């Protein structure tokens, strides 16, 4: 009886390893991977007040060109 249980566990393990992998949408996983590889890396900048790294497009910049994470830190000034 224990050999039947071991055989069942091994069979389920092999089935899980060898079955085709599909996402929640039922499509193939390959297109998702190719989109991630094609994505451009985004430049990160450190806030001049607290040092938090934020994407350059989300940073608030003062007149001197220093990046800040929020408008409140821009008003507080650099440290």
For the full predicted model, state whether its pTM sits above 0.95: no
Higher confidence at residue 61 or residue 28? 61
Give the whole-angstrom CA distance, residue 29 versus residue 22.
Answer: 6
Please tell me the total count of domains within the chain.
Answer: 1
Q: Which long-range contacts (CB under 8 A, 24 or more apart) does 71-77 make?
A: 73/47, 73/48, 73/49, 74/49, 76/49, 77/49
- Of 72, 42, 66, nearest to 56 (Cα)? 42
**Is the pLDDT confidence value at 37 over 70?**
no
Residue 6's pLDDT band (cuts 50, 70, 90): very high
Question: How many CB atoms are located within 10 Å of the residue 76 CB?
Answer: 13
Look up the domain containing 20 and give its range. 2-76
């Amino acid at each position: 009886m224990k050999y039947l249980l071991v055989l069942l566990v091994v069979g389920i393990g092999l089935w899980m390893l060898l079955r085709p992998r599909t996402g929640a949408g039922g499509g193939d996983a390959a297109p998702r991977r190719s989109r991630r590889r094609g994505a451009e890396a985004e430049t990160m900048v450190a806030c001049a007040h607290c040092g938090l790294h934020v994407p350059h497009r989300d940073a608030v910049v003062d007149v001197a060109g220093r990046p800040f994470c929020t408008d409140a830190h821009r008003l507080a000034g650099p440290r």
